């Protein structure tokens, strides 16, 4: 058994998790509730084992480094963080309805990582610039932020869906609008703090590698744009009392910016972060 097999299995287990959560939501299959959670926890454990094994394998190859260094590894970690965060939210807010809106992100991420021909799955050694203790701190903080924004976008979509369709019996089972709004906000606050930490660790790293903490390279600039979008969202809520639909839309717009920062910049623009694109 090697790490790519485990991570391949993870893709299908997340697909199955998605189906279970959608079944709970659409068919009111209450008997499946515990099974969905249990299955997702197991899937997360398999993925954790896969990531850990990939780390071990890199040491066996003599080029040991944390599995957070290229597009493939980052997408895998992104999926991992989304599931971990979702399970925490499920446990904290005692609702499984969010699953159908959050778990698919993890499945899509894993499917992209496994089946895309644009990205290489091989474990490759680190170029000198990436050999730093800041690597783990920077990548982990950024991706916790990204994952939180993904979940917030799922919640935003859920809010809009429920808000638009009025007295649909299917959507009645979703948490009350006020609750969805509250969780969306909290998730965005959580993401904002981690994104801030991600930008800061990136700046400190850049300064220790190149002597410039900020060079306006496209990745940096886009992360700042994303940061501004969420800063605006939080200000609109605190000072103007925005909530509901408008915040839900901002959660979606913010996530588009996240996706562009994470993915679009690597493939459409050039810059210092080019290691991420293969």
Partner 1 sequence: MNNRSQVWKFFSSVQLAIFTLSAISLTSIIGTIVPQDRSFAFYVEEYGEVTARFFQVLDIPDMYTSWWFLTLLGLLSANLIVCSIDRFPLAWKQVTLDQTSLSKDRLEKMAYTHVIRNASSTLATTLENALKKGGWKIAKKETKDGVITAAQKYGWSRTGVYIVHASILVIFAGAIVGHFFGFKGSVLIPETKDTDKVYASKTQAPLALGFTVRCDKFDIEFYDNGMPKEYTSRLTVLENGKEVLVKDIEVNHPLQYRGMTFYQSSYEGYRDFLITLTSTTDKSTKTFIAPFQQQIKWEGKDITMGIVNAEALRDRVVRMKVWIKSSQNQPITIMVDPQKPYSLEENGLPYTVSVKQMYATGLQVAKDPGVVLVYIGCFLMMVGLYIAFFMSHRRIWILTSTGESTDLLIAGTTNKNKLGFEKTFTELLQSITNTNG
The one among 216, 267, 274, 278 contacting partner 1 by CB under 8 A: 216
228 touches partner 1 by CB under 8 A = yes
The one among 218, 237, 262, 266 contacting partner 1 by CB under 8 A: 218
The one among 161, 203, 256, 272 contacting partner 1 by CB under 8 A: 203
CB closer to partner 1 out of 14 and 222: 222
CB closer to partner 1 out of 83 and 181: 181
127 touches partner 1 by CB under 8 A = yes
Other CB atoms within a 10 A radius of the CB of residue 11 amount to 23
87 touches partner 1 by CB under 8 A = no
CB closer to partner 1 out of 35 and 209: 209
CB closer to partner 1 out of 3 and 233: 233
213 touches partner 1 by CB under 8 A = yes
CB closer to partner 1 out of 1 and 127: 127
149 touches partner 1 by CB under 8 A = no
- As a whole number of angstroms, the distance between CA 202 and CA 197 comes to 8
| Span near partner 1 by CB under 8 A; candidates 25-33, 82-90, 124-132, 148-156 | 124-132
Binding-residue total with partner 1 (CB under 8 A): 42
214 touches partner 1 by CB under 8 A = yes
**Residue 250 burial (10 A CB sphere; 0-12, 13-18, 19+):** buried
124 touches partner 1 by CB under 8 A = yes
- As a whole number of angstroms, the distance between CA 50 and CA 55 comes to 9
Q: Which residues bind partner 1 (CB under 8 A)?
A: 63, 124-125, 127-129, 131-132, 189, 192-193, 196-197, 200, 203-204, 207-214, 216, 218, 221-222, 224-225, 228-229, 231-232, 235-236, 239-240, 265, 269-271
């Amino acid at each position: 058994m090697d790490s790519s097999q485990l991570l391949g299995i993870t893709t299908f287990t997340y697909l199955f998790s998605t189906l279970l959560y959608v079944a709970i939501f659409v068919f009111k299959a209450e008997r499946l509730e515990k099974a969905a959670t249990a299955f997702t926890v197991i899937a997360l454990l398999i993925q954790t084992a896969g990531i850990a094994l990939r780390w071990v394998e890199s040491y066996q190859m003599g080029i040991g480094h944390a599995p957070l260094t290229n597009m493939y590894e980052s997408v895998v970690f992104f999926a991992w963080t989304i599931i971990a965060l979702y399970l925490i939210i499920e446990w904290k807010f005692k609702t499984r309805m969010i699953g159908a809106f959050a778990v698919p992100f993890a499945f899509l991420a894993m499917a992209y990582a496994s089946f895309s021909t644009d990205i290489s799955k091989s474990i490759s050694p680190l170029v000198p610039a990436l050999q730093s203790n800041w690597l783990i701190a920077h990548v982990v903080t950024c991706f916790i932020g990204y994952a939180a924004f993904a979940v917030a976008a799922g919640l935003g979509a859920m809010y809009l869906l429920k808000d638009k369709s009025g007295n649909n019996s299917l959507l009645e089972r979703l948490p009350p609008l006020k609750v969805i709004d509250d969780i969306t906000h909290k998730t965005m606050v959580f993401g904002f703090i981690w994104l801030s930490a991600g930008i800061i660790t990136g700046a400190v790293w850049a300064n220790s590698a190149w002597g410039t903490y900020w060079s306006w390279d496209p990745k940096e600039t886009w992360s700042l744009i994303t940061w501004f979008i969420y800063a605006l969202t939080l200000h609109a809520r605190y000072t103007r009392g925005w909530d509901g639909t408008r915040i839900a839309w901002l959660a979606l717009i913010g996530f588009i910016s996240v996706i562009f920062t994470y993915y679009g910049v690597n493939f459409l623009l050039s810059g210092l972060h080019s290691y991420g694109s293969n």
